[in-house]
Amino acid sequence: PLLAAMGNHERAADPKGLLYQRLVGDPWYAFSVGEAVFLVLDNSNAHSLGREQERWLEERLFEARKARFRFVFLHVPLEDPRGGRFKHAMSDPSYARKLLEIFERGNVTLLFASHVHAYYAGRWGKIPFIVTGGGGASLYGKDPAASFYHYLRVDVDTTVPEPEKALRITVRPVHP
């Protein structure tokens, strides 16, 4: 299956997201596969999830508390991984901190974001993240460690006792 998270370009062309909903489906949703729960969020406005989606997220994370893995996908990262003068992230840092607290309380295993057209991995608080935005649009920057077209392969080894160590993430460069 092809799964999508609504981004700012979809939102710009369709501010209420009606076309996206008609063509793709709900902009935020959850599903489970084996021991993993997947939560796809819509933060394409770069400001907040909104009260309804935020409540939904907290409920889904509570329901998933016994799941071994909790993966969250959103478009706009909580912070710009490039730091400094770059602001390609949630527009309200206090709301980004609030979301991070929700993710930490929900023991999110790994957070995936996009929006920054490059590849970065790190931690926001206790939550490991990957920004994977090198899927086809013009790349940001010239750093060969981050600015390359790529896709990810995530393998989960259910025999490894610690969830974070059970993940093997392979970043595959795509040479156009």
Q: What is the pLDDT, as a whole number, of residue 48? A: 95
Q: What is the pLDDT, as a whole number, of residue 20? A: 93
Residue partners of 44: CB distance under 8 A and separation at least 6: 6, 7, 8, 10, 11, 17, 27, 75, 76
Q: Which of the residues in the chain have pLDDT under 70?
A: 175-176
Average pLDDT of the residues of the chain: 93
Cβ–Cβ < 8 Å for 60, 30: yes
Q: What is the pLDDT, as a whole number, of residue 176? A: 56
Q: What is the pLDDT, as a whole number, of residue 175? A: 65
Q: What is the pLDDT, as a whole number, of residue 54? A: 98
Give the pairing type, strands 127-132 and 110-113: parallel
Q: What is the pLDDT, as a whole number, of residue 131? A: 97
